[in-house]
A and B are shown apart, each in its own frame.
Chain A
Amino acid sequence: MATYTPTRPIEHLDHGQKPPVPPAGGGGDEGRRDGGPSYGARLRRARLGLICAIATVGMVFVSLTSALIVRRGLPTFDDASRTYFRDWGGVQLPWVLLAINTVILLISSLTMEGARRGLARRAALAPVQSIPGVSLGAERNFPWLGVTVILGFGFLVGQGMAWADLRSRGFFVNTNPDSSFIYLFTGAHAVHLAGGIIALLWAGITSLQHKPIEGRRIVVDVAAWYWHFMGVLWIYVFALLAFAR
């Protein structure tokens, strides 16, 4: 039988790229049973999804920043004097409290990293531990995850205290544009951080349910990178509020 050779053989179609690694199997509804993607593939996908999520959150804060810059430069018309003036306002931030909150968040990033690495290690050793008769000894696991959640809540409480301090000095969300943006940025960051705490609590629940460690490791890994991003984002917000108002 005559054979047809395609006009563009496969090896010339790569455009310098290696062919992608095929998915290990099925996915979808039954992704975690037979035919489901491998642990490595799931982790890679989750991290890729996180990069997309971070891009979106980044766009939210970029747009809020542009709003701040535009609004700060706008004069306001005074009906009484029929003149334009700057009404930006000047809010004295509770610097000490915010600095303490910053330290809490940075420490929580370290504990989060501890949780991520600890779980990665346990996930790597899980196949060895499953061999009958093999023991890794009495390994003590520091509750990094729990400490991170507590520190995360601590940060949110601290931010709440900062808001209370502003209110006690008469600065509400509608007092002036400066106070509006302070509440807006700190609130938006807090909402996103709360999302990270929910992810960590979810990881804790899965550990109580004795589900496979791989799934928990993926949740914690992604939550950890998100958490670090939240730390970086807070430093950005803090710097913005400190220097760009």
Chain B
Amino acid sequence: MKRAAVLSSLILLCLTMTATVSGQAQKGCQLNIVGTWSPAEVSPLLYRFAADGTVTVLSGSGQESREIATAAYTLDNPRAPKTIMFKAAKQAGELSEGTTAMEITGYDDDSLTLVKPGSGPARWVKVDPNRYFIVLAGRSDVFYDRSGPTFPMMIKIDGQQTQIDAVGIYAVGNKWSFGTVPAEAYKEFMKETSKASDVMLRLEITAAQYERGLNILRTWERRVREGALLYPDLHLDNILLVRQVTESLNQCGEKVKLYKLDWGLSDHISDQNLYSRAPFLYFKELRRLNESLHVRDEKFNEHGRMTHKSMGR
């Protein structure tokens, strides 16, 4: 009897711990509530959260969406919220008249699980008409030490225009430079080649992943501008930059398989190669590890056309 009681309490403890871990967001993962969300499973309405603490309930989608109601919302802790409180003047969709408190049991880059009192958990998904990509591009055997241009590109396609930001090592003639990659330098890396000296990994990412990656690029652009680089060796700066950008993809859960470029015992890339060649070989390894996620040229171009159509432009 005693043994059975101990065993059952152990099982209960394990179950509780599992539930707690799976319900929590990843450490370092911050919820960005601002944007449009859809609790697709429970309501056809859309909820547009603004940074000023207001939420607008919309019916329909795209340009035909109609405003039904507005309410105020507050998060108990904006960095790691556990509860969201709505104050609405009238009932609209999931919001009752007066105050509605919902428990936030989990979130990642593009989804949120909310529990309304008396109902089960509902998954809310972020709705974004834009498409986002990251391209890890590199070429070897360009400079005297067999290294070459290597940089990450963040791409946003909003239907009307494509915004491309790239920072890293690029070629100026037969010399290399570190900083914002000019358009003429990154354009030749927009298409895949079959050359062994080239590498490209193109992934479709969420708005949150894009924003994080873009912030990292902006910070490095500022460092270049202000002469505040972290290493005197620009190749080390480039390694740090590509590591920061790629690791930021997994800040809210493992979305991409990463290689540990850390000078450790199992890091054969930095063990056997010059610093300057490490980002190129790192991208090659990431391409190998994430082959199934790679967006090929045809599909990428299709994405662009689809976005143009769906936006009706």
Partners in one complex: no
